[in-house]
Structure 1
Amino acid sequence: MSITLDPTTPEAQGVGTRRSSFARVPAAFRLQFTVPSAMIGVPLVVFFGAWAVAVGIGHWVRYLADGDPGPGYTGAAQATVWALAFMAAYSASHTFPFAMALSYSRRVFVLGAFLAFAAVSAGFGALFSIAILLERATNGFWAESYSFDLPFMTQNAGVAGAGLLAGALCLAAMMVGFFWSILYRRVSLLALWVIILGLVALLAVVVMVTTQNEWWPHVGDWLAAQSSYSFARWVLLLVLGVTALNYGVIRRAVPTV
């Protein structure tokens, strides 16, 4: 026996049917960009500002050397990564209460934040690659000052691999920043410091055990064998783990303003 619905009924037209919670993911994605300066404006200022300072220092060193001091490599590129990590923590702290007030599920909020951070990280990776090409075309802006064209990122995978690794590292930093912000809402301040000190102690034990057993040469060999592509895969696996951890923590986080 078959039942045929009248096409004019609400059931046949889909009226009154329950929407999937994932339909709100695009809105949760846009929520992270409610204040564009947080995710776009400030990081861009840091990106170009740190780069300009590094180039200026390169010209100054070249002038003091009164000749050709050779290529200089700076860590200016990481300034944007740290800025985005802070902005991700800030965004999580300020958008989480609004997401709960708008009846977003915690799963939708975490997924929307992850996609927003992934989009920003992809943009950073693209800018990183473009910056490498600019530094190569201008010989480090005529000062042999390199903030992006770093040999350990480009020698095994080229410009594209360096951009992919930069984007993956940026995403990892943002998700870690997001984690600490959400964890602060999940536990007390005292418990947060206990966790931080516990992680520091664990890291110290790992360093001591590695040193005692003389494993550092093996660690160095493993790192030397990695390309930007393979290292990016390891970083992305870490990102997936931290994202799952974020969801586990946020399930019981309190959305206070």
Structure 2
Amino acid sequence: MSHSTVDAVLLLGPTACGKSALAMRLADEIALEIVSVDSAQVYRGMDIGTAKPSAAERARVRHHLIDLRDPSEPYSAADFVRDAAAAIADIRARGKLPLVVGGTMLYAKALREGLSALPSADREVRARIEARAKEIGWPGLHAELARVDPATAQRLPPNDSQRIQRALEVFELTGVPMSALLAATDRPPLALATIALLPHDRAELHRRIEQRFDAMLAAGFLDEVRALMARGDLNPDLPALRAVGYRQAWEHLARA
């Protein structure tokens, strides 16, 4: 595989499968830079729970798409595709191979297959939807979604707050069901090679995930969440804080 045949290599896999370690080993052999495919690592102040690369790792190999946004700000798949395409072009212009690494499959799929013309996230619309959710619950909003976009509602469970919110947001902004917009997709002009790390032993993967979480707790993950709570302008319904571990830790600390 040469730089001339592909624009970037995607290295994908589930949490704790060894993606980051492999990426760093490859960097010892190949002139490359890493582009993060992680919907939580884009947020500043969310370091431990997202398993961001250490300062030493980032000094050793340049990483892109980390610490882009404040947790109060939305970040969408469309934002990712735009930012990733720009990072890939920048890396290639400097004669290196872009290695796109992560586990947010929605983002990876958008980069490989393209995005429909969905509108960008709108804070005011999202705030209205969240307020409505507090009144009638996400299952109630799921029922509302079923009336305006039955195809999308059918594939979403009633408690999938993030995707229900996005589907309602798209409909409110465009007047068109998200399922209809998704039918018209533009493929990004990128040649991508994909490497997928698939664990053979699920029990071993779960053990490694548990070990990773224990290490996060020891490193101060709960203190990190306390600091986010202490800001006063964040809440667990924000997209940033729906990241695995953060919402659960927030709710645990709120009950304590």
Same fold, judged at TM 0.5 (above): no
- Structure number with bigger Rg: 1
Kindly indicate whether structure 1 or structure 2 has the higher relative contact order, using CA contacts under 8 Å at least 6 residues apart: 2
TM-score range, shorter chain: under 0.3
Structure with the higher strand share, 1 or 2: 2
TM-score (norm 1): 0.26
